[in-house]
Structure 1
Amino acid sequence: MMATTLAMAADWPAWRGLDATGVSNETDLPSTWTPDGKNMLWKASIGGRSTPIVINKKVCLITLAEPEDATKWQERVVCLDTDTGQINWEHRYNVFQTDIPHHRVGWANLVGDEKTGYIYSHGVEGMMYCFAPDGTVVWSRSLGEEVGRISGFGGRTVNPVLDGDLVIVSFLTAGWGSTYIPRHRFYALDKITGETVWVSTPGDAPKDTTYSAPVIRVIKGERLVIGGNGDGSIYAIRANTGEKVWGFSISKRGINSSVVVDGNLVYASHSEENTDGSTAMGRLVCLDAEVISNGKPKLVWMVDGFTGGYSSPSIHAGRLYHVDNSANLVAFHTKTGQKLWKHNIGIAQKASPVVADGKIYVADVDGRFHILKLNGDSEPEILDIDEFKEIDGSATQINGSPAIANGRIYLLTNTHLYAIGAKKISSRPSETLPDLAEKAPSGSPATWLRVSPSEDILPVGGSKQFKVHTFDAKGRLIGQVEASWSLDGLDGTVNDGNLQLGQKNISQSGLVIASVGALKGSARISVRPTVPFQEDFDALEIDSVPAGWNAARGRFQIVPDGSNKVLKKLSENPRTWRTTVYIGDPTAKSYVIEADIKGSEKRRRMPDIGLVSHRYTIALMGNTQKLMVRTWLSELARFSKEVRYRWGPNIWYHMKVRVDNKAESATIRAKVWERGKPEPAQWNIEAEDLIPHRQGAPGIYGYSSADIFYDNIVLTSIEK
């Protein structure tokens, strides 16, 4: 395998370092320090829960903005100068349509691209950003509005990872067409444009939202993305195509701990019930990814009862270092699984250990940062322990790992970022990593055809150019090829890979299909209608849902209502009671949305029903008999307003919502009245948001503790 030299290899551009092992080759690192002076270069009053990255003389992190003022809560990406701690640039953006609480904002770690200097983030609300070195937004994706990304209360958000020309991110989705069933999916995006290159669904029904970050390795000539899944398994998928290569089930809950890979050996852990009937909670396994039988790698060894559920392991010099949920740091022999020693560092654990300069650097949740000297197969020596406290004496939490770069250690607590180490940085040689850009040998037969972009959201009348590449049996690139083209389920034409959609202003979904000999590949397309638009559901089949609507199939269905048809939100499954369905372009703005809505009553409960506009939800609250406007479900203090509004079951109402953006704010207005009666002159509710959303897909919202019905959805432009 060839090797490549990275220009800034002493940086720390990703959560677990350059090769995702939690190991740094830095030397002459401090063995002791104090938060008030000794070996501390600077301290910045910026806290967070993730691990910073270090790239091109900047230390960058993702965190909550304005933590002391709920009305100003946003997610932000901020980069500071590594020498001074002064802010180089920052970008703030709103959190919306999630029930993740504010103290979990900034969960997923950033990743930086050494070649371009670009920085990538994945926010709790589903915004994916690519930033230029100066903080300019290169591209962004609103994954919830586009592909039905599911946001869970716990805040668990997966780090993006880079591989060649791709940035890969995973999350739970309930999309449209073939992705309507909720699953944990991997999305590979073009790192320069943000377009979707492939989508992979390797697993079964997820048990949890999770935050296991995958790693990239070449094993037996196959370039693989290897990581945990929400269904409790570890999967390997081909990095160029998304094809599943193998899977190994280990837990009855989702996997949060990330794997670490050494050669052909994959190490994984969890802290829940095991899948094989073992009475022990938790397990650490070593898998041989070169020996695959019936789609499963060989189990080399396992340690039952090891509860490594939150922290992720480091691997160095034949030893695996891992911290269990009770903050016991344990060393294992990598070939046999033999436990070499155990060292307690606290009570509870989230952060992962980092190995560097013959030491382990690791923090526990309760605000203590440990520096330990490694001692071979014997328990390490304590070199330094520093404890962080709040003003009231409580512990300052530490959830992330330290980043080690250019002779310095960067540690993020819940309240501060610390730079520890030398003031002057000596020159350091670049490190080398395996070159993963392997191509198929000359003459290899093609077994896989990839159409890219593989998925897109387009407006009525829109166009898109597609490309086709072929790959061999190991997922190695052969090259770009010409193909024959056809459409399935779309109004439009495709010639030489150029899709031109028709002018039918209706919701659509379908495929752009490419054929090369016996090989076929396709790209999924959702066509979102443009304003003005009306949907009365009468042209749709009974029991169906509008094409291209995320999270609709299985939760909604078209039903008869007298001589008409309406959309019904089902109430049988409590897990799908709360649903937001986006029906338009995420960049839409300056529109009015209105619809007929009706709620039923079940066991003395009424549902919540509403509309979504510009990333605000306006809902009739059934049990509380209120009309509410909000944007962040779990943090109403950020922005919300409610008024009393009495409404009854089994009565059709008409709701109208208008959002007006001004220079420094947005005004959200809504009115509701019984269908068939005159529209009232006054708005029932008006609210001003001082940190406004400037755009957002129109949609419908429902919390269906009882059945909900929608009809006559209308979108019109706001006249300037």
Structure 2
Amino acid sequence: MDKFVLKGYLIIMTMHFRPTLKHFPVICLILFLIGANSGCVTSEEKETGGPTGVLVMPPVPTKEPIVNSDWLYWRGPIGSGVSRQTGLPDALDLNDSSLLWTHEIQGGGVPVAAGGRLYHFGYYGVTGDLQEALICMDALSGKVLWERRYSDFLSDIVYNRYGVGAPCVDGESGNVYFQTSTGLLLGFDKDGKSLWERSLMEEFSRLTFPNGRTGGPCVDGDLIIIHAITANWGSNGPARDRFYAFDKHTGDLVWFSTPGITPKDSSFAPLIFEDLSDGRRVFYSGTGCGNVVCIDARTGQPLWRFQMSHGGVNSGVILHDDVVVAVHGKENLDATEIGRMVAIKKPLQLPDPGEPALVLGKEDEKWRNNELEAFTSTPVYRENRIYCTSKTGVLLCLDAAAGDIIWRVKLSPDQVHASPLWADGKLYVPMFDGKCFVVKDKGDFGEILDEVQLDGACLAAPSASHGRLFVQSKKRLYCFGSKTPAPDFSATAASQAKGTGGPVALQVVPAEFAVKSGTSQKFKVFSLDKTGRRIAQLSEGLTWEKWIPPTAKVKVKVDAEISSDGVLVASSDAKLSAGALRVTDGKVFGVARGRILQDLPYVENFEDSFVLSQTSSDDIPFSYPPLPWLGARMRWQIQESDGNKIAGNTLDKVLFQRAMNFVGHKDMSNYTVEADVMTDGNRRIKSTVGLVNQRYIVALVGNWQKLEVFSNYDRFKISVPFSIKTNTWYHLKTRVDIATDGSGVIRAKAWEKGSDEPDAWTIEAPHANAHKQGSPGIYALSPQSLKKVYIDNISVTSNN
């Protein structure tokens, strides 16, 4: 047996109890089993030599939530869907005193509660009037105390698939955070005062999908953590399911993490956290690339991943002893069956900081059950049993130790997103057909205590707080239970634990920046110990430099200067650029990356600094587009046409037949965008080319011969007929004017290049809830990747 393994596990045993003679057989059995498995390595270890990190001891037991505690996160106090609430109703009757109130709001959101306040994510209205909302309510009466509403912009969401997620509440301050379906990440105090705002779409190229699944952020210490599919720039340009951690006080990005591979699907799986006995804090989640991942919560370092499906893993995982249990509803990697539940053994050793993540395989499974097919419903773990709803509308109870099904009960024809809640010795189970069941585990069978038909389908998990149960259907929010007022919210003390020992790395905040010309950015630097804890904030003895990472494909630096005290200054004439910064204390270092974005005016004619040294798949010499353009590297090429350099979209992948790429800062407003544009096509199929102005797309639609303004196709779209000849250059110009009442008019005109500009606008599109800011950008649509679009002479200027 490995002496290191033996020593580690002897330490484990003596930490948790004082051995006596009666414990001798148990100790021998454990050591025998350790010896039998000590020679196992993962596939990643075989390639890299394995991690050199210390042996990971069993996790520190997670504290059970106190009775009648607050429900601050999507999946409850410890992220497991379990509540210690008591006195919850056995029956949910819409006509008796168990129903306290309802509120007419649509969606599939999970309410969260802090003291006597309830915070909820949903939406109001239909079509053009639809707006998502964060609402704060009195949990006892259902009275709305305040709300904040947001219109869709530039998303791919169809029908009314909004409000599928949850806000979260910070237990230290009572502040609330949530993410809209379009990727606005927002922080508020308990009274609705805005703390900060990030636009994930315009800052990190967060992608949206027709399903609208959003999920929600979570608070961990001083961090707000989310994950989404992004296609950013540079090394983060390829689309991946990434995790981002923001400082909860300021909104600054602390770290980002790319733990998986190319995604096949989006994922909104919740996070669940665990403290390891080596001092590290980690979380687990499913990803859009079909993996279950383990990530260091303090640094974002990927520690291991286990691929279990071809599609996304949308259900949250659960923790049980030494395994992580996950379920999916997509195609398996090694079988024709759809769906599976797997218990993944946690690795005994984890990578040290800077080492590659482990890739676990089938040999790391403890058990699997192929009868489970759950696409987005998250299981619940309680007292060695797992409860899960399947795609076919069945509630199943499984033995957590072996994965065997103990009992099953048919509840409804099918199930989609909603997850069970375990509380007060019962399971509360909403279903897709709008029924909500109360089920009791009777040992070898499940007994239905009650069922109620709600108004609209149920997509969300229930939540419970202070004796009350909250359930959202597609049409309204329901509150059942206690009429006793909840105590005032009681803040938890902030953790005072600091790092110990010598630093192993420096953490630079913000980890990614976007600085406009004529402005500056001040950085903070923290030393980290081997567990990712911050030892101290550093201000002296640091050396800064503009840095080119050895792995960078584009060897460039930001057009700005970094001072010795960590202030990056972009002069008023700084050019569009991107790159990295490196800081060191002489022993360890940290890195930040970012972009310098030109303030108005911004002009790009592609003539300078573009060397056509690449060759496309159709043998055309080209150069990649400007590095700071978000997500543009694989979607656009700079090529020559009639002696000029122009930008054309790529046709290599059908996945890229639609391209929308931002070229400026998210806070820009009151500007005019114009460019020369050209479509290609024939009488059967033509391309579409356009510009993005303040979260609106203005496009020449070749197939339909019209000039169109839209923000989301189902929400806001206005067009006028316009004759478009393929392979003919037009000049397209647009501006957005905002009135004092918040309404606006999007104006655009187009004319054949070389002719006189018309005096009148070709289209004027009024919008009652106008977008007041947003990055400029470019847009292309090549149906089935058959016909290209071309853009030249881009200009963004102030309206004043």
TM over 0.5: yes
Residue 539 of structure 1: how far off its partner (Å): 1.1
Alignment of 1:423-462 (within 5 A): 423-425=483-485, 439-440=498-499, 442-443=500-501, 445-462=502-519
Identity of aligned residues (%): 33
8 Å Cα contact 1:231/1:253 also seen in 2: yes
In 2, Cα distance between equivalents of 1:478 and 1:117: 26
2:734 corresponds to 1:657: yes
In 1, Cα distance between equivalents of 2:68 and 2:606: 57
8 Å Cα contact 1:220/1:290 also seen in 2: no
SS at match of 2:118: strand
Return 5+ residue gaps in structure 2 as ranges. Answer: 1-59, 351-357, 548-556, 613-622
2:476 corresponds to 1:399: no
1:274 is aligned to: 332
In 2, Cα distance between equivalents of 1:500 and 1:531: 17
> Once superposed, what is the RMSD of the aligned Cα atoms?
2.3
Equivalent position to 2:569, from 493, 500, 503: 500
Alignment of 1:230-309 (within 5 A): 230-275=288-333, 277-292=334-349, 294-296=358-360, 298-309=364-375
Distance change >3 Å, CA 323–CA 253, structure 1 → 2: same
Query: Which letter maps to 1:569?
Result: N
2:798 is aligned to: 717
Query: Which letter maps to 2:421?
Result: V
Residue 518 of structure 1: how far off its partner (Å): 4.7
Query: Which letter maps to 2:567?
Result: N
Residue 581 of structure 1: how far off its partner (Å): 1.1
2:583 is aligned to: 514
Residue 429 of structure 1: how far off its partner (Å): 13
Distance change >3 Å, CA 479–CA 300, structure 1 → 2: farther
In 1, Cα distance between equivalents of 2:524 and 2:250: 14
2:77 is aligned to: 18
SS at match of 1:592: strand
Query: Which letter maps to 1:717?
Result: S
CA radius of gyration, larger in: 2
C-alpha distance after superposition, 1:451-498 (max 9, x if no partner): 111001110122111122233344343333453110130122212211
Alignment of 1:692-703 (within 5 A): 692-703=770-781
Equivalent position to 1:337, from 400, 403, 425: 403
1:675 is aligned to: 753
In 2, Cα distance between equivalents of 1:387 and 1:109: 23
Equivalent position to 1:364, from 423, 431, 436: 431
8 Å Cα contact 1:540/1:546 also seen in 2: no
Alignment of 1:614-625 (within 5 A): 614-625=694-705
C-alpha distance after superposition, 1:390-444 (max 9, x if no partner): xxxxxx20111111100110111112211111211477999999x987654x32x
Distance change >3 Å, CA 580–CA 428, structure 1 → 2: closer
In 2, Cα distance between equivalents of 1:303 and 1:512: 48
C-alpha distance after superposition, 1:608-635 (max 9, x if no partner): 11111111111000111111011112x1
2:39 is aligned to: none
1:48 is aligned to: 107
Equivalent position to 1:324, from 390, 408, 422: 390
Residue 47 of structure 1: how far off its partner (Å): 3.1
Distance change >3 Å, CA 251–CA 177, structure 1 → 2: same
1:80 is aligned to: 137
Deviates more, 1:343-352 or 1:471-480: 471-480
Deviates more, 1:622-631 or 1:535-544: 535-544
8 Å Cα contact 1:62/1:77 also seen in 2: yes
1:393 is aligned to: none
C-alpha distance after superposition, 1:494-553 (max 9, x if no partner): 122111123334321111111233533211111111112211111132312112110110
Return 5+ residue gaps in structure 1 as ranges. Answer: 390-395
8 Å Cα contact 1:536/1:565 also seen in 2: yes
Query: Which letter maps to 1:361?
Result: Y
SS at match of 1:104: coil
Deviates more, 1:524-533 or 1:287-296: 287-296
Residue 564 of structure 1: how far off its partner (Å): 2.2
1:571 is aligned to: 651
2:608 is aligned to: 539
8 Å Cα contact 1:468/1:483 also seen in 2: no
8 Å Cα contact 1:620/1:626 also seen in 2: yes
In 2, Cα distance between equivalents of 1:11 and 1:639: 39
1:392 is aligned to: none
8 Å Cα contact 1:666/1:688 also seen in 2: yes
Residue 8 of structure 1: how far off its partner (Å): 10
SS at match of 1:470: strand
SS at match of 1:272: strand
Query: Which letter maps to 2:596?
Result: V
2:641 corresponds to 1:561: yes
8 Å Cα contact 1:46/1:416 also seen in 2: yes
8 Å Cα contact 2:172/2:491 also seen in 1: no
Distance change >3 Å, CA 432–CA 145, structure 1 → 2: closer
In 2, Cα distance between equivalents of 1:42 and 1:604: 56
Q: TM-score, normalised by structure 1?
A: 0.94
8 Å Cα contact 2:204/2:232 also seen in 1: yes
8 Å Cα contact 2:560/2:574 also seen in 1: no
C-alpha distance after superposition, 1:555-582 (max 9, x if no partner): 1011122332111111231111111111
SS at match of 1:291: coil
In 2, Cα distance between equivalents of 1:572 and 1:604: 20
2:254 is aligned to: 197
Query: Which letter maps to 2:604?
Result: E
8 Å Cα contact 1:64/1:102 also seen in 2: no
